[in-house]
Amino acid sequence: MKSIYRSVIISALVYACWVVIKGFGGVDLMLNQWAGWIVSAIMIALTLVFATQERKEQGGYMSYGSAFKTCIFLMLIPYFAGILFEYLYFTTILPDVVDSFHVKMEQNIMAELDKSEQEMPEEAREMAIKMGTGFSPYKPGGVAFVILSAGVLSAVFSAILAIFVKKLDPNAADEF
């Protein structure tokens, strides 16, 4: 069981390193969705490796339910810690990067609205910008949205990973 806590700490440190790299990479890296998906793939791989290691430490067998609980624990704790670290890191240490991020978000929203063939009143454009920037991961409402999204995605990925991690004891009765 000690190794699972060590695994959570390692995963949280990997996520924290990503946050610091994003800070050095600036706004373009912060807005790059592919970079975020690559980090998510690394976190999923770490979860699979650490959950398999935990199964070995438990005697080589693990039910689907135990595998799911292990995977969700290995994903949720580092993600939640990482999200809070990212919010605090950028809002306290790099607030100028957050300001640049919001300006770039507004520019991207304006560019998308300009591509639209529909005429929009100025009030509607301002409302679209407010709504778009309101879900920024560097505002409290955006943090809540990111935490909710991370929880849902962690549950989905944990359900899938548990299929690969589980290994039933052939001598035991039906296990879930």
Residues 6-20 pLDDT 10s: 888 998 899 899 999
Question: Is 64 contained in some domain?
Answer: yes
Question: Is 114 contained in some domain?
Answer: no
- Report the C-alpha gap between 130 and 174 in whole angstroms: 53
Question: Is 62 contained in some domain?
Answer: yes
Question: Is 124 contained in some domain?
Answer: no
pLDDT tier at 28, thresholds 50, 70, 90: confident
Question: Is 132 contained in some domain?
Answer: no
Question: Is 34 contained in some domain?
Answer: yes
- Report the C-alpha gap between 28 and 3 in whole angstroms: 36
Task: Report pLDDT for 76.
Answer: 92
Task: Report pLDDT for 46.
Answer: 92
Question: Is 122 contained in some domain?
Answer: no
Q: How many domains does the chain have?
A: 1
**Neighbouring residues of 146: CB distance < 8 A, sequence distance ≥ 6:** 83, 137
pLDDT tier at 175, thresholds 50, 70, 90: low
Q: Which domain holds residue 13?
A: 2-94+138-165
Does pLDDT of 174 surpass 60? no
pLDDT tier at 92, thresholds 50, 70, 90: very high
- Report the C-alpha gap between 106 and 19 in whole angstroms: 22
Bridge partner list, 62? 167
Residue labelled with tokens 């699979």: 48
State the DSSP code for 170: T
Q: How far is CA 119 from CA 29, 105, 110, 127, 150, in A?
A: 32, 21, 13, 14, 36
Question: Is 59 contained in some domain?
Answer: yes
Cβ(41)–Cβ(110) below 8 Å = no
Task: State the chain's mean pLDDT as an integer.
Answer: 86
Give the mean pLDDT of 32-54: 90
